C-alpha cells in the first residue's frame, strides 16, 4: 500500500474523518477540507511515526508539512530516506 493510501486509512479509521479513505483528495487541505484540529494533527503525527517507522521532529511538524496527504507523504519519504 502506498504511503498516501496508508495516510488516508489513518484519517478514516483513527482520526474519524467522515470522508471515505478512497475519496480523500491527496491535495485537499487537512484542516479546511477534512476538519483536522490541533489534536487531530498531533494524532496524525503519532500514527505516521508508528506506521512508517520515522521520528517527526518539532522542526518538521509544520503547517506546511501537514497541509495535505501529499505533503505528509513527502515528509515521510524524506524522513525514511534520511534514516536509511
State the catalytic residue, choosing from 22, 25, 33, 37. 37
Instruction: Give yes or no for a contact between 82 and 16, defined as CB atoms under 8 angstroms apart.
Output: no
φ, ψ of residue 36 in degrees (nearest 5): -65, 135
Q: Are 45 and 56 in contact (CB under 8 A)?
A: yes
The reply to whether 58 belongs to the active site is no
Active site amino acids: 37
Amino acid at each position: 500500500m502506498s504511503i498516501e493510501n496508508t495516510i488516508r486509512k489513518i484519517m478514516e479509521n483513527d482520526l474519524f474523518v467522515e470522508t471515505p479513505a478512497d475519496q480523500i483528495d491527496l491535495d485537499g487541505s487537512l484542516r479546511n477540507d477534512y476538519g483536522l484540529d490541533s489534536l487531530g494533527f498531533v494524532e496524525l503525527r503519532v500514527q505516521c511515526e508508528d506506521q512508517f517507522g520515522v521520528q517527526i521532529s518539532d522542526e518538521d511538524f509544520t503547517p506546511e508539512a501537514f497541509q495535505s496527504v501529499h505533503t505528509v507523504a513527502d515528509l515521510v519519504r524524506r524522513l525514511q530516506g534520511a534514516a536509511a
